[in-house]
Structure 1
Amino acid sequence: MSVHAPTHRAVLGLRENAAQFTLLVAVNALVGGMVGQQQTVLPLLATEEFGLTGYTFIFTYVAAFGITKAAANYFAGTWSDRFGRKPVLLVGWLFAIPVPLMLIAAPNWWWVVAANVLLGINQGLTWSTTVVMKIDLVGPARRGMAMGLNEAAGYGAVAVSSLLAGYLADQYGLRPAPFLLGLSYTAIALLLSGFLIRETRDHARLEASQHTPRADGRHDHLHSDLTNRQIAVQTSFTEPALSSASQAGLVNNLNFGLAWGLFPLLFATADLTAGQIGVLFALYPGVWGAGQLITGALSDRIGRKHLITSGMSLQAAALMLIAASDSFTGWAAGTVLLGAGTAMVYPTLLAVIGDVAHPSWRGRAVGIYRVWRDSGYAVGAILGGIIADLMGLHAAVWGAAVVSAASALAVAVRMYETHPRPRGVSTEKAPRTS
């Protein structure tokens, strides 16, 4: 995307764009709700209605979701820079329409897998686009807060929908009641996205026109005219902060993918009801979602790196507690801590990408980062399934704990601080340039 003056008046800032920002928060809550409607229910559907027993096979739907979501993230970033953000958002929601219908009607497990392929495309296109649009609107001073609000809405909705789906499954059966939530979410999102959401690419152009390099010269090689290949290489491997964020994001979602497929089965070993399992599963994204309301803004005040290393370390400790427990109480404590650790990491990693990427290729950088991050769903599901089949459910959780600790160490060694701010100094009056 070439840098030029915006075609209409655009102003950067959270307060200045409050109405559009709020609409985008609502849309991203609906995006998260599409995932939450099935997380509690599908593992139980696999065992109780389709008679599946091998953990690796059961987790195929999580792997299918992760692979397609990762690929969709790449196209979301590229297309949003090329064609604009709103068209990508609308196309993403069109892919959601068949998902709940297929889950309701599924005569075999492969229908469930196919529905999750479509859901992965929906999630990649819509969630990536709402991230980019919010970063566009707020400018550099409140980037962490913007990501905290975005991710809080999405994962808070995952928690609420998981809880609702568990309740509906308890009261009315595994099908169709829980999946009626998804039909409602899709209809509301299409109305909001089609009629009320506005294009934000001009805000990115405005920020690009005001862009000033870092005083330390660290980003001088990350100029505005990088090719797609150069952006992919920098984000994946060579730029220390971008590539560190990509690996940490992958490990974070490895934990989520493993939790998605494995936790309901692990919790069911204690003869818990579907409602109790729904509560346990809701605690993780619930704390994750609510915590980001604090951690996103906190990263604007104290910086990004220490929140990421501390959050990955806390996730490792939480997984150890879950692996060592065999009761509701221990699992509840572990999922709360896992949610807290994830809250420290999730919006902060996105803020790192926004800090480092030039506004002219920010959408593509976000897309590449999310390719790596959401590949973690598939890695977690497949690796967790294999370990669970060979060594048991608890061993799979122990494996994820070790990987999380290694990720924290890698970030501590390689990542530099991307958003230096004096500790305790508010960014309220920070200039709208980076």
Structure 2
Amino acid sequence: MKIQLGLKENWQQFSLLVLVNMLVGGMVGLERTVVPLVGTEEFKIGSDIVIFSFIIAFGIVKAFTNLVSGVLADLYTRKRVLVAGWLVGLPVPFLLAWGPSWNWIVGANVLLGISQGLAWSMTVNMKIDLVGPQRRGLAMGLNEAAGYGAVGLTALLTGYLASIYGLRPQPFYIGIVYTLTGLLLSIWVIKDTRAYTMLESLKGPGNGNAVPSKKPGLLSVFKEVSIGNKDLFAISQAGLINNLNDGMSWGVFPILFMSAGVGLEGVGWIKAVYPMVWGVGQIVTGPLADKIGRKPLIVWGMIVQAIGHLVIGIGQLPALISGLSGSVLLGIGTAMVYPALLAAVGDSSAPEWRASALGVYRFWRDIGYAVGALMAGVVAAWLGIIWAVHFAGLMTLGSGVLVWVMMKESRAVRN
């Protein structure tokens, strides 16, 4: 059977991958509302750093798994790595629902980090493989819209279930459905896409700033993406700061708004709005990155996120309104940057080493979860929990300025 690059030519497999990534994202949504409150309410943990330890564990493990995921994909095919991700994630909802101590929750997040690093990385790579260079923004917009839309919907659903049945175990039952469904789809209906990468490589560059080359080793790619190429450096630091915001909000928002008198269902809405707007918005911002370029969306997206932090941090509005308004702005800003950053990495790396480049970028991006949670814990213990929001806002603004100064536009020029 002849293979062709393009979304139209591969819409069936692309749609199945969108569905799989919704299930991958839903596994993260399981934790957004309920798990920080399990630490404070059920296990009576008083230290912010200890509470945020599950996010730190998740972020570090996911980051390092991202780093090796591209190498594993080239060794064992994308499909096998995707299936492995689901297998690792199978115990997670059971540990979250019935783990007898906080260490079990942290252990579940180690497994979740590995699972996400493998499974989400492969859905990103497989979609980029299918669509070719001219529709990367659209592909990443649809991919991340599916994943983070599911994060938001699941966060809302778990908050609702927790308000009716309690924090555990009922909110985590849906995770059992997610893992089993995702595993079966990945085994039986998803097809490997590495042949599409080979086809694109044969067709020539057409990849923005990318230069075709023989495939370098992971260490060389790590150096190139991290410090060797100033465009990729700017992209990587923006990804880190973007997920720093997410890691901070993951741990801080439930505790901050519960202490301000917002009920559990209201906290569920605040936690849901951010990833839902982030997810749905990428349906627009993904193709927009193909039309107007990557850089404008990245720069202005970071600025919009900084404004969202300001709305939450100034405390001039009722807590629920400021939480919802700030979360909407955070979601809009993140929707602007997320597909543009991924597409820019694809533009600036040749097909021969793109999977490894994406893995390195996603390493730095997802280290942001751990950095954000650790920053939030330290700042909250030192200055108070609201200052974690202020610090994140200042870092986000600085990151956007750095992209504006350093990064060249990377969008491929169409014939």
> What SS does the aligned partner of 1:417 have?
coil
Amino acid at match of 1:238: G
| Aligned positions of 1:90-169 closer than 5 A | 90-169=83-162
8 Å Cα contact 2:48/2:377 also seen in 1: yes
Q: 1:139 to 1:213 in 2, by over 3 A?
A: closer
8 Å Cα contact 1:30/1:185 also seen in 2: yes
Structure (1/2) with the larger helix percentage:
2
Q: 1:213 to 1:11 in 2, by over 3 A?
A: closer
> What SS does the aligned partner of 2:142 have?
helix
| Aligned positions of 1:267-282 closer than 5 A | 267-282=257-272
Distance in 2 of aligned mates of 1:255 and 1:282: 15
Which residue of 385, 398, 414 corresponds with 2:390?
398
Which residue of 195, 205, 210 corresponds with 1:212?
205
* Structure 2 partner of 1:82: 75
Distance in 1 of aligned mates of 2:204 and 2:136: 15
Distance in 2 of aligned mates of 1:333 and 1:196: 40
Amino acid at match of 1:166: G
CA positional deviation for 1:185: 0.1
Question: Is 1:45 equivalent to 2:38 in the alignment?
Answer: yes
| Aligned positions of 1:151-190 closer than 5 A | 151-190=144-183
> What SS does the aligned partner of 2:107 have?
helix
Question: Is 1:240 equivalent to 2:230 in the alignment?
Answer: yes
* Structure 1 partner of 2:335: 343
CA positional deviation for 1:223: 2.1
Distance in 2 of aligned mates of 1:244 and 1:320: 24
Amino acid at match of 1:348: A
* Structure 2 partner of 1:384: 376
* Structure 2 partner of 1:266: 256
* Structure 1 partner of 2:359: 367
> What SS does the aligned partner of 2:186 have?
helix
RMSD of aligned C-alpha atoms? Answer: 1.3
CA positional deviation for 1:105: 1.5
Amino acid at match of 2:302: M
8 Å Cα contact 1:14/1:21 also seen in 2: yes
Distance in 2 of aligned mates of 1:166 and 1:9: 47
Number of paired residues?
413
Where structure 1 has 5 or more consecutive residues not aligned to the other structure, the ranges are 1-7, 422-429
* Structure 1 partner of 2:221: 231
> What SS does the aligned partner of 2:89 have?
coil
CA positional deviation for 1:214: 6.9
* Structure 2 partner of 1:284: 274
8 Å Cα contact 2:133/2:207 also seen in 1: no
Distance in 2 of aligned mates of 1:9 and 1:198: 14
CA positional deviation for 1:331: 1.5
* Structure 2 partner of 1:329: 321
* Structure 2 partner of 1:414: 406
CA positional deviation for 1:293: 0.3
TM-score normalised to the size of structure 2?
Answer: 0.97
TM-score normalised to the size of structure 1?
Answer: 0.93
* Structure 2 partner of 1:198: 191
Amino acid at match of 2:400: A
Question: Is 1:59 equivalent to 2:52 in the alignment?
Answer: yes
8 Å Cα contact 2:63/2:365 also seen in 1: yes
8 Å Cα contact 1:302/1:420 also seen in 2: no
CA positional deviation for 1:39: 1.1
8 Å Cα contact 1:38/1:178 also seen in 2: no
CA positional deviation for 1:307: 0.5
CA positional deviation for 1:327: 1.2
Identity %: 49
Where structure 2 has 5 or more consecutive residues not aligned to the other structure, the ranges are none
Q: Deviations over 1:343-375 (max 9, x none)?
A: 000111000011111111111111000000000
Q: Deviations over 1:61-109 (max 9, x none)?
A: 0000000000110121111122210000000000111111111111111
> What SS does the aligned partner of 2:191 have?
coil
8 Å Cα contact 1:324/1:394 also seen in 2: no
CA positional deviation for 1:224: 3.0
Which residue of 24, 27, 32 corresponds with 1:34?
27
CA positional deviation for 1:420: 5.2
Distance in 2 of aligned mates of 1:111 and 1:58: 13
Amino acid at match of 1:387: V
